[in-house]
Structure 1
Amino acid sequence: MSEAPSYVHGASVQPLLGDTVGSLIDRIAAAHPGRPALVVRAQGVRLSYREFHAEVERVAAGLLALGLVRGDRVGIWSPNRAEWVLLQFAAPKAGLVLVNINPAYRLHELEYSLNKVGCRALVLPRRFKTSHYLDILAELAPELAVSAPGQLHAARLPTLREVILLDDEAAPGMRGWRQLVALGDAAALARLHAAERELGFDDPVNIQFTSGTTGAPKGATLTHHNIVNNGWFIGEAMRLTEHDRLCIPVPFYHCFGMVLGNLACVTHGACMVIPGEGFDALATLETVAAEKCTGLHGVPTMFIAELEHPRFAEFDLSTLRTGIMAGSPCPIEVMRRVVGEMHLGEITIAYGMTETSPVSFQTVPDDPLERRVDSVGRIHPQLEVKLVDERGRIVPRGTPGELCTRGYSVMLGYWEDAERTREVIDEARWMHTGDLATLDADGYCRIVGRLKDMIIRGGENISPREVEEFLYTYPKVLDVQVFGVPDAKFGEQVCAWIRLRDGATASVAEIQDYCRHHLAYYKVPHYVRFVDAFPMTVTGKVQKYLMREAMVAELGL
């Protein structure tokens, strides 16, 4: 093992962009006015960059006409829709802070998030699937029924004044989206352009709530500079141009959809193609084929769902070239099928976290397939990363350490939470991610676990990732998650939840015997459960803590 330190920096001849989100869309629309900007099939929306820019300006001017002022927070509680994308660019153009609210949130979570950041306005649809947004909001703010638009004074939501409904149907106390856009008249546009001159790229522009496994969500506060530049360098790694059409089935409220998707496109004049409000494998395949998409994003479970769809072979996916797979590790067999059967020869892997805008490592099309599976690539341009031990010392290459990131991408902090900000950003502005990683001699990074995810059985440290990767080699295993459960004798025992391939059957003993032949005894799963699905967030991140809780309850621990 080399004694070189685990430190890398993304030296680059490419300078950082000095754009605000508003000046970015001004510049790109001027450069590519006739190119397609946004396609939303479910809504029948097709906008060129000239049209998209004009609509963004009208929405931004309309927000200011409501009486919102620079720095006010505007919440968006909605699945993927055209209005989400318009608001993503309009709010920062007006100097407002967009607050991404998870569409899966229920009453308690909505109340917490709106009040935590003091939202002045909220944009929402009437309903989506089983989420009846308007009913939940009415329960929180019954005062809506007797309020005039813009005059809400709700006891449980004391800062909220404006509610904008993404429907043509009117509702008490609210404005419709079309009414908002209609407010963006010539006078309002003049006020918008005057207000824009006061903005700087270090202003806060976006609050994204991080989904921690413990405690209340934290509002990571990001700037124009954070997300514009991250989107730019993400697109560069994918080699995007104005001729690309990227299919984005991942949710916008999360940085995957908003930054790796929308901003990566807009920074390069590419087209954002939205297959639907939520992920649907068939709709995604139909969209890629019909719109001749050149790129496709997703978490591994999305790509698995597309590949396994009974109608997969019907669709011509030959226009595909690039995309991003992120969120969790990809089994090499899945990656081979994505490259071979979906034509995604230049697909990239990305790693990051909300607090770093989010990407800090990414593969590039030239990286061999194995590197796109066993690593998350190399450091992004203009960033630094070091891996440190528990005392804060940089570890040698090849030795696991906590990954720390520094540079333009690090958030301002958690909204009005200096204490929790200090827990993760040190005095030298290093963001401590809590992820355990290694760096090899060539600078490729491997994520080997979370500091708190490491299983410690009888004093032996076990990486869940290592056991997962091994179990993927068993032909019957489609997907697997490994985690630790409490044990009186050893402290923890290894548990594996396994999804089998269609038609396959297996026993616990069969899985354990397979492991015993290849793994150290202490890594062999003590508990094995066969399941149809894993508990997941909307963004496709597996929630191991819920699996752990289920096992604790089942075993009576």
Structure 2
Amino acid sequence: MLELSYTSGPAAAPLLGQTIGENLRRTVERHPDRDALIVRSQHYRASYRQLWEQIDTLARALLALGVAHGDRVGLWASNRYEWVLIQFATARIGAILVNINPSYRASELHYALDQSGVSVLLMARGFRTSDYRATLAQVRDALPQLRHALVIDDDWRDFLARADEVTSRTLFERESALQFDDPINIQYTSGTTGTPKGATLTHHNILNNGYFIGRTMGYTPQDRVCIPVPFYHCFGMVIGNLNCVSHGAAMVIPGDAFDPEATLRAVAEERCTSLYGVPTMFIDMLRHPLLDELDLGSLRTGVMAGATCPVRVMEQVRERMHMEQVTICYGMTETSPVSTQTAVDDPVEQRVATVGRVHPHLEIKIVDPERGCVMPIGQAGELCTRGYSVMRGYWNNPTATSEAIDAGHWMHTGDLAIMDRDGYISIVGRIKDMIIRGGENIYPREIEECLYQHPQVADVQVIGIPSERYGEEVMAWVRPKTGTIPQSGELEAFCRERLAGYKVPRHWKFVAEFPVTVTGKVQKFRMRELAMAELSAAG
């Protein structure tokens, strides 16, 4: 009898049966004078007591504005202290926070606000070259449900003054009526395969996920966590903020968006014990000249997530950044987000080459994408997750929900994975990224890991592009190390010594950067579009 790729997580520590506001209140009672939030770009610092008082004021101001239980409140801004206050204030009054991507243009903004029915929008003046007020003006007339649009940089003080119109008793009564299974957050997926879908998450979903991420990393109130990843994404607001608050740790925010120097300085000067980032962020920090000048000795752990984590990068992060206990997290927005995570005491080979094992109170299985049957141990298939972390569904989109969550309440991730006999998971690609060349299945991750070993390769992404003869051919986009000029023939020979011939890239492209999302995720679909356009133009 073959062993099957199914496992469930430990359940020794109970789930938190609390709302986000209840959990924050308990942390404030235990650690009122400890640092809670530090936003260096705004020169902002608050203890847990001060954070609670500011959130209380904001929550009452929102009530004065007429925000009811279940109303959608949009938040369109990059990382700033007000973002954190709004995150917790909306949770305390039972409003549903709708995260708006800071890079959205007018059509994307209209879609998110209209589809979710946002009635109150809190927004920055802009981000980088974008003028949010001008962008909103283009679509405001087509948003009849939008009653208020407040600019944080201009209206904040007057808005907070409205808190005096609402008593603490009124806020207490609202909080007392909330349930931890209430939806509290809508996050829109990237929409790379169609219109974005709003993953709808509850207190129970995201509070517990943040809490168990921190338990896996051994967080205590003494930890200080550097969070350069965006708040509008689960990485920032769950793995970051909710993780810290549920353990009484400090949130340290370097700036409104990722900058390698600002992040390294924040770690050194605030004596951070943990650091977060997607692989491209860690690659940029490893390449920065300040890395070896600053004292990063306070670091012990952190999270690398959001994209496939190259083994070579993980090894350098452990060695050069003192993050011996760095963990890899795997998941998706629809699962709050983390489903698997490496442990700080896992064998080194498992911590650098896998995404760990299933999280507490969750189940995972790997299935044949076509037939749905559970695959034998060691064979690739689609990874599915079930448990408390699975979203309520896509907002007002039952068709998309039923396509993603099956009758057994398994969330189908679209990721190709392999489980070993000890339950460790390796991600080998996306179902849509898998390359089928002449009937052979090729997993880009294997080729990427091979090329990372070449001394002239800083970063690499492998995609499949159309081929008349084979259906698809392998193409590698390579970002060379500074000062090197690798040749495609040399890299091809390097691969042929280590890979079967059909896996060796036929096409090569050398680039300074890859197309990425605002969170740093590489957009392979965009790479395919660009490659196909170039090949077509070349005849």
Q: Cα offset for 1:99? A: 0.4
| Paired amino acid for 2:509 | R
Mapped partners of 1:385, 1:179: distance in 2: 49
Secondary structure of the equivalent of 1:548? helix
Superposition map of 1:207-286 within 5 A: 207-286=186-265
Secondary structure of the equivalent of 2:247? coil
Is the contact made by 1:383 and 1:408 (CA closer than 8 Å) also made in structure 2?
A: yes
| Paired amino acid for 2:168 | L
In structure 2, the residue matched to 1:146 is: none
- 1:156 matched to 2:142? The reply is yes
Q: What are structure 1's unaligned runs of at least 5 residues?
A: 142-154, 170-175
TM-score (norm 1): 0.95
Mapped partners of 2:257, 2:167: distance in 1: 34
Secondary structure of the equivalent of 1:267? helix
- 1:180 matched to 2:179? The reply is no
Q: More deviation in 406-415 or 303-312?
A: 303-312
| Paired amino acid for 1:98 | L
Match among 267, 281, 284 for residue 288 of structure 1: 267
- 1:425 matched to 2:405? The reply is yes
In structure 1, the residue matched to 2:508 is: 528
Match among 321, 333, 349 for residue 370 of structure 1: 349
Secondary structure of the equivalent of 1:370? helix
In structure 2, the residue matched to 1:30 is: 29
| Paired amino acid for 2:156 | W
Is the contact made by 1:65 and 1:188 (CA closer than 8 Å) also made in structure 2?
A: no
In structure 1, the residue matched to 2:450 is: 470
| Paired amino acid for 2:129 | T
Is the contact made by 1:402 and 1:437 (CA closer than 8 Å) also made in structure 2?
A: yes
TM-score (norm 2): 0.98
| Paired amino acid for 1:187 | V
Is the contact made by 2:328 and 2:355 (CA closer than 8 Å) also made in structure 1?
A: yes
Superposition map of 1:121-136 within 5 A: 121-136=120-135
Mapped partners of 1:86, 1:96: distance in 2: 13
Superposition map of 1:279-428 within 5 A: 279-389=258-368, 390-428=370-408
Is the contact made by 2:77 and 2:83 (CA closer than 8 Å) also made in structure 1?
A: yes
CA offsets, 1:414-464, max 9 Å, x none? Answer: 000000000011111111111111110110001111111110011111001
Q: How has the CA–CA distance of structure 1 residues 186 and 65 changed in structure 2, closer, same or farther, with 3 Å as cutoff?
A: closer
Superposition map of 1:142-153 within 5 A: none
Q: Cα offset for 1:140? A: 2.1
Mapped partners of 1:484, 1:178: distance in 2: 53
Mapped partners of 2:128, 2:505: distance in 1: 37
- 1:500 matched to 2:480? The reply is yes
Q: How has the CA–CA distance of structure 1 residues 64 and 322 changed in structure 2, closer, same or farther, with 3 Å as cutoff?
A: same
Q: Cα offset for 1:368? A: 2.4
In structure 1, the residue matched to 2:152 is: 166
Mapped partners of 1:99, 1:187: distance in 2: 24
Mapped partners of 2:47, 2:327: distance in 1: 27
Secondary structure of the equivalent of 2:281? helix
Is the contact made by 1:64 and 1:188 (CA closer than 8 Å) also made in structure 2?
A: no
Mapped partners of 2:309, 2:361: distance in 1: 27
Give the number of equivalent residue pairs: 536
In structure 2, the residue matched to 1:102 is: 101
In structure 2, the residue matched to 1:206 is: 185
Q: More deviation in 370-379 or 181-190?
A: 181-190
In structure 2, the residue matched to 1:113 is: 112
- 1:480 matched to 2:466? The reply is no
Mapped partners of 2:427, 2:505: distance in 1: 21
CA RMSD of aligned residues (A): 1.1
Superposition map of 1:36-47 within 5 A: 36-47=35-46
Is the contact made by 1:377 and 1:445 (CA closer than 8 Å) also made in structure 2?
A: yes
Secondary structure of the equivalent of 1:184? helix
Secondary structure of the equivalent of 2:240? helix
| Paired amino acid for 1:316 | D
Is the contact made by 1:401 and 1:437 (CA closer than 8 Å) also made in structure 2?
A: yes
Q: More deviation in 240-249 or 210-219?
A: 210-219
Secondary structure of the equivalent of 2:429? strand
Q: What are structure 2's unaligned runs of at least 5 residues?
A: none
Secondary structure of the equivalent of 1:314? coil
Q: Cα offset for 1:186? A: 7.1
Q: Cα offset for 1:191? A: 1.3
In structure 2, the residue matched to 1:82 is: 81
Mapped partners of 1:368, 1:16: distance in 2: 27
Mapped partners of 2:184, 2:484: distance in 1: 49
Q: Cα offset for 1:9? A: 0.3
In structure 1, the residue matched to 2:139 is: 140
Q: Cα offset for 1:12? A: 1.9
Mapped partners of 1:187, 1:130: distance in 2: 38
Secondary structure of the equivalent of 1:262? helix
